[in-house]
Structure 1
Amino acid sequence: MNTEMKAIVVDDHPLIAMATKSILEQIQGVSVMGIAKTGTECLELVEQHKPGLVMLDYHLPDQFGSGVVKQIKMRYPGIHVVIFTGIDVADMYNHLIELGVSGIISKESSESVIQNMVRCIMDNCTMLPLPLYRNMRLMTSTPLPDAALTKDEVRIMSMLMRGATHEQIAQEIYVSKRSVDNYLKKIYEKLGVKSRVQALEKFVQSKYYNEMDRSEA
């Protein structure tokens, strides 16, 4: 096992962040270098400290955890990222693992479970909950083709990515809130999802998100 590992905690809830920091610092060899509240702050701390481990909340104020993982792994593929979340990410297990996360764990897990996972990672292993392990299909899964979204639908999804409310979207594109709701129902049907989180995750994986990234670069 490696004797020393620098870590960063990323969570916008101060009490949870401090509790996570305390749990990690009880592990021999782990030093928490800082706490970030957003994806942007996380990337800044990663650049500054070059940690071995990032404990990353999935739902951040400025972006989703998957986008942060992608950016970290592009710059520093050797950094371990653990998705530490209070929401159900079951539909995104495969995608997150394909992005390169070293573990996925619930915030409801006990201190000992969290610490055991980190110790496994320090030993270049991982630990997965049995339901996750049984549902994994990395070897057989094939990516679905991108759904055909209209220009307006892509614009709406892009605004959702930035945290816009339905009311704000309606004002921006000069339609009623009900029209925005109808747009989203059609988008959900096209993407084969049932929730906003699932839709945004599918959008992040699509060609439209990559094209949006390039246009804003």
Structure 2
Amino acid sequence: MTKQIHVVVIDNQPAVRAGIKIILEEDTSIKVIGSAQTGKEGLELIEQLNPSVVLLELKLPDGPGLNLIRYIRERFPLVSIIIYTGYNFEPFLNEIIDSGVSGVMNKSASTKEIHQLIRNVINGYTMIPLTIFSRMKLHRSPEVRHYWEIDLTDSEKRMISLISQKYTNVKIANKLNSSESSVENYLKKLYSKLGVTSNIHLIMEG
């Protein structure tokens, strides 16, 4: 028998809490074991009931939901948190992800989507609507470049090819009609350019 997923709902609207309980429990593997209208009440329930999942509205009477998320993550690290909100969360998506939530769902989502998200979260996954996913970007410093984004000369590409075939420096030198010391010096420059330290790292990166 599948273990039931215990959920606590935190939302300031009584009708929403009652409605989401009915929706969630259409799936017999999900059970709403408590609901609260404020963050403070929600924290007390989490401590008392030890749920698997917390379904949380972003805007609560006693403070922003993001602050509550961080507090829950600190005190109850094994509890999965899903934001279930009627507000436009896209402008705050990076901050929401950084806060440690396991998923985000708009209240316009279908019953099937809500059930699927909860099951995904329990299994270590999440769901991202395609409309949001298509606009997501990984942020990094403009100075940081991956090896595949670096322009390589034909000679450098050939050298990497020989290394990937596990040629030693001696064999590379023979292949290129060069000296071993010249190959070593060339490789040092190539390592520096690609941000690696050895042939092994170069092969692993490639």
**Alignment TM class, shorter chain as reference:** 0.5 to 0.7
Q: Return the alpha-carbon distance in structure 1 between the equivalents of residues 28 and 17 of structure 2.
A: 19
Distance in structure 1 (CA, Å) of the matches to 2:33 and 2:20: 13
Of stretches 119-128 and 70-79 in structure 1, the one that deviates more from structure 2 is 119-128
Greater shift in the superposed pair: 72-81 or 25-34: 25-34
Map 1:124-143 to 2 at 5 A.
124-140=124-140
Bigger radius of gyration, 1 or 2? 2
Q: Does 1:25 align with 2:47?
A: no
- Partner in structure 2 of residue 43 of structure 1: 43
For residues 120 and 67 of structure 1, the distance between their equivalents in structure 2, rounded to whole angstroms, comes to 24
Does the 8 Å contact 1:2/1:123 carry over to 2? no
Q: For residue 80 of structure 1, what is the aligned residue in structure 2?
A: 80
Give, in angstroms, the shift of residue 131 of structure 1. Answer: 2.1
Q: Which residue is equivalent to 1:91? A: 91
Shift of 1:138: 4.5
Aligned residues: 142
Q: Structure 2 regions of 5+ residues with no counterpart?
A: 143-206
1:4-15 to structure 2, matched below 5 A, reads 4-15=4-15
SS for the counterpart of 2:59 is coil
**Distance between the aligned counterparts of 1:106 and 1:141, measured in 2?**
31
Q: Which structure 1 segments of 5+ residues have no match?
A: 143-217
Other-structure match for 1:116:
116
Give, as a single letter, the amino acid of the residue that structure 1 aligns with 2:43.
L
Q: Deviations over 1:10-36 (max 9, x none)?
A: 111111111111111122322211110
Deviations 1:124-166 (A, max 9, x none): 2111111222233355389xxxxxxxxxxxxxxxxxxxxxxxx
| Cα contact 1:57–1:65 (8 A) shared by 2 | yes
The answer (yes or no) to whether the contact 1:57–1:83 under 8 Å persists in 2 is yes
User: 1:18 and 1:4 mapped to 2: Cα distance?
Assistant: 19
1: distance between equivalents of 2:101 and 2:23? 20
SS at match of 2:112: helix
Per the alignment, residue 65 of structure 2 pairs with: 65
* Contact map agreement 1:94 1:136 (CA 8 A) in 2: no
TM-score w.r.t. the length of structure 1 is 0.61
Higher relative contact order (CA 8 A, sep 6+): 1
Identity of aligned residues (%): 35
CA 48–115 in structure 1, closer or farther in 2 if over 3 Å, else same: same
Q: Given the two structures, how large is their TM-score scaled by the length of structure 2?
A: 0.64
1:103-133 deviation per Cα after TM superposition (whole angstroms, max 9, x unaligned) = 1110011111111111211222111111222
CA–CA distance in structure 1, aligned partners of residues 102 and 2 of structure 2: 16
Alpha-carbon contact 1:94-1:138 (below 8 Å) kept? no
User: For the structure 1 residues 134 and 141, does the alpha-carbon distance in structure 2 shift closer, same or farther, using more than 3 Å as the test?
Assistant: farther
